[in-house]
Amino acid sequence: MAKDLSFSCNECGASFGKWSGRCDACGAWNSITEDKALSRGPKGKTLGGMRGKTIPLTDLDTQEPEPPRTQAGVGELDRVLGGGLVKASALLVGGDPGIGKSTLLLQAAARFARNGLKVIYISGEESNAQVQMRARRLGLEKSPVRLAAETNLRDILTTLEAEQPDLAIIDSIQTMWADNVDSAPGSVSQVRSSAHELTTFAKRNGMSVIMVGHVTKDGTIAGPRVVEHMVDTVLYFEGERGHQFRILRSVKNRFGPADEIGVFEMTGKGLAEVKNPSALFLSERGAPAPGSVVFAGIEGTRPMLCEIQALVAPSPHSQPRRSVVGWDGGRLAMILAVLESRCGVPFTGLDVYLNVAGGLRISEPGADLAVAAALVSAREDAALPSEAVVFGEISLSGALRPVVQTENRLKEAQKLGFTSALLPRQAKKPAATGINLRESQDLSGFVEDLFGAR
Ligand code: TYD
Ligand code: MG
């Protein structure tokens, strides 16, 4: 008989026959723990000798009713949730310290309470007085949210069982302490087991639970990855410290589209929703300047315009700098290489800085062409026409590829007063939007069209 694999890694889930200090699969240290078998039969056979009950099976086409949802009444939040908070769902909200998670969740708690849910807010990080002070600052001190400052999970679950709320907010999962687990709060096994207890409790009691999770330096939620698999929805709250914009992004959602975003602004009285983010992200744009390009992007289901800025300067270093804020560094290197080898625009000996204005972070490949335009414009010291937006994907061959939702991008650009768009050649012409289309087949044609022959 094959030997039972009875140890597994908390980080990646790999199984092993014996314990070791380092996981061979993912390289994490101290992440391997012994698995307790679900139940062991008399002769040590896993699950043997002890019968479970038979599970009812069902067809694929059985009609399950849509899960009931409650809306917060804040459009930006409801959209990210996929149309409102689903009953008995488990959510994880991650974000850097101080970005505004507690503020967001206190405001959401008040909204859900106002719309008929019984809400309990448990803070493991702040005292009742601190949360009450924040509530006063937000003008929410009269809303019917119940509050407690507690970290003992056993006491919390007992209280939730007695109170039977519709929604519990746990701020944060890293401060929770389950007394049956033999390690300190914040450790991998504590976080994993607290999240597991809370989600199963929530499912069993028809309660929704929102857990706050801190993120590590590399931007993932601290603690085991398994927490992300356990919950139905994972949201990230992002933003740059110096900017007032905050973005709530769904990276996983069992009840709605992933990659949807909600845009907020941090004000002196909490978070305010931003209904027209394009106008906001472009509001700081000055006169047309070399290196500045307006990218017509799509975030989730909504079009969003933003400014991409590049600066190119002779480098005093033997290894020139490549610095990126709000975009992928690897992708920048690729665009520079394509510009150099396919279009004869070299960047050797030049420092390159790229920035997405407003603290936005873009991950779409559709931004390639806007980035390329900003780089060449900065290098040539020639501004692009100020009434033009740019979008399109660049392949390694230098060919331009059309991107999704061209029409929505064009409509948004038109709404904000732009009159032309620089984009890849489209096989299928987009419906007329009153925007003048300047199409290019490949990157060298695009560069030539804008800045003259090389
Ligand atoms: P907080 O919600 O405590 O962040 P987190 O829970 O993610 O650590 O918010 C912290 C920051 O937000 C803090 O620097 C103050 C600022 N803030 C405002 O600007 N306006 C407000 O109304 C509130 C409540 C906070
Ligand atoms: Mg907090």
For residue 289, report the phi and psi dihedrals to the nearest 5 degrees. -130, 150
Ligand 1 center from residue 103 Cα (angstroms)? 6
Instruction: Please indicate, yes or no, whether residues 366 and 437 belong to a single structural domain of this protein.
Output: yes
Distances (CA, A) of 409 to 133, 249, 296, 298, 367: 43, 20, 6, 7, 12
Q: Closest residue (by CA) to atom 13 of ligand 1?
A: 98
Instruction: Please indicate, yes or no, whether residues 265 and 286 belong to a single structural domain of this protein.
Output: no
Q: How far apart are CA 92 and CA 370, in angstroms?
A: 33
| Distinct helix (H) and strand (E) counts, the chain | 11, 23
Q: What is the CATH number of the domain that holds 434?
A: 3.30.230.10
Tens of pLDDT along the chain (454 residues)? 444 567 888 777 788 888 899 988 888 888 888 876 555 555 555 555 566 788 988 888 877 778 899 999 999 999 999 999 999 999 999 998 899 999 999 999 999 999 999 999 999 999 999 999 999 999 999 999 999 999 999 999 999 999 999 999 999 999 999 998 888 888 888 899 999 999 999 999 999 999 999 887 666 766 767 789 999 999 999 887 778 889 999 999 999 888 888 999 999 999 999 988 888 888 778 788 999 999 999 988 889 999 999 999 999 999 999 999 999 999 999 999 999 999 999 999 999 999 998 888 898 999 999 999 999 999 999 999 989 999 999 999 999 999 999 999 999 999 889 999 999 998 888 877 789 999 999 999 999 999 887 6
Query: 77 in a domain, yes or no?
Result: yes
Burial 201-229 (b: 16+ CB within 10 A, else e): bbeebebbbbbbbbbeeeeebbbbbbbbe
Query: 298 in a domain, yes or no?
Result: yes
Instruction: Please indicate, yes or no, whether residues 264 and 334 belong to a single structural domain of this protein.
Output: no
Domain that holds residue 77: 69-275
Q: Locate tokens 């009434």: which residue?
A: 387
Q: What one-character DSSP code corresponds to residue 288?
A: -
Q: How many domains does the chain have?
A: 3
Contact 131, 110 (CB under 8 A): no
Instruction: Please indicate, yes or no, whether residues 261 and 195 belong to a single structural domain of this protein.
Output: yes
Last residue of a domain, one of 275, 296, 319: 275
Query: 41 in a domain, yes or no?
Result: no
Instruction: Please indicate, yes or no, whether residues 252 and 329 belong to a single structural domain of this protein.
Output: no
Instruction: Please indicate, yes or no, whether residues 73 and 134 belong to a single structural domain of this protein.
Output: yes
Instruction: Please indicate, yes or no, whether residues 155 and 258 belong to a single structural domain of this protein.
Output: yes
> What is the model's pTM?
0.81
Q: Which helix (H) or strand (E) holds 168?
A: strand 167-171
Nearest to 138 by CA among 113, 105, 165: 105
Last residue of a domain, one of 250, 275, 300: 275
Query: 47 in a domain, yes or no?
Result: no
Evaluate the CA torsion angle 32, 95, 202, 159 in order and state its sign.
positive
Mutate which of 236, 244, 266, 269 to test ligand 1's pocket (most atoms within 8 Å of Cβ)?
266
Instruction: Please indicate, yes or no, whether residues 366 and 395 belong to a single structural domain of this protein.
Output: yes
Instruction: Please indicate, yes or no, whether residues 128 and 219 belong to a single structural domain of this protein.
Output: yes
Instruction: Please indicate, yes or no, whether residues 212 and 197 belong to a single structural domain of this protein.
Output: yes
Instruction: Please indicate, yes or no, whether residues 255 and 183 belong to a single structural domain of this protein.
Output: yes
Instruction: Please indicate, yes or no, whether residues 128 and 263 belong to a single structural domain of this protein.
Output: yes
Last residue of a domain, one of 275, 301, 323: 275
Ligand 2 center from residue 165 Cα (angstroms)? 22
Query: 164 in a domain, yes or no?
Result: yes
Query: 332 in a domain, yes or no?
Result: yes
Ligand 1: residues whose CB is within 6 Å?
95, 97-103, 134, 137-138, 266, 268-270
Return the percent helix, strand and coil in the chain, to nearest 5: 30, 25, 45
Strand partners, 251: none
Nearest to 391 by CA among 378, 409, 376: 409
Query: 57 in a domain, yes or no?
Result: no
